[in-house]
Structure 1
Amino acid sequence: MSELRFFPRVNTELRVEVTNLYGDTTEAWVRNISPGGVMIDGDLSFKEIITLGSARNPSATPVEVTINFKLNNDPESFNSRCRLVFVRRLSQLEFNFGFRFVGISTEMAHRLQRYVANQ
């Protein structure tokens, strides 16, 4: 089975700061990234912060956060608003979270495309 992706993705290990709509912040790791979004590894406390403590289905009730991280040696942080598109349980306490970028600025999009192309 082949993947139907709009954008290529690259594996990475970038520390990310994620802020929910109430301003609560947590940290995790970006495991892969593409010009369209990111996959972040997180634990149960990460899940509770981004879903505001509920078991919301991201396809039924959108969950949006702001992410902030460094693209390797870039002097400025990369930041964007993101929408949660999936949560995959890896174990009882570990999850993958898929986010799609929404409202990404042109500058951030270009920086991200350069990063992905150079990996």
Structure 2
Amino acid sequence: MPPTRNKNAKSSIEIEGRIELAISTLKKQEISSIAEAARLFNVPYTTLYHRANGRPARISLRANSTKLTETEEDQLVQWILDLAKQGIPPRPASVENMANHLSCHTRSYLSSPPCWPELGVKSD
């Protein structure tokens, strides 16, 4: 049976705090094992194990489903701000076109991207 995920934000923050405390006590060698720390701080063993071994918290990572990199997002925001300075309202279609343009010219695709005619790739 898969683990149940807690949707309560306050509870997640509390768990995160307990994980950080457990990691700090492990680093100070006040507690000898990860299993003991997990029991004492009431946190999941596997989560504590991975976090103690360098895996960052999921909340601090970018979502897997993002279409643009952080750099591309920054470029898109700057382009929108430049349009606004010129008094040109950024229309949703033009923002989408620019986002597609940025993503097409900075990475390769396994499937056909929105700019497939420009890249000479046949659409499926």
Task: Give the TM-score range, shorter chain.
Answer: under 0.3
> Which structure is higher in strand share?
1
Q: TM-score, normalised by structure 1?
A: 0.25
Higher relative contact order (CA 8 A, sep 6+): 1
Name the one with the larger helix percent.
2
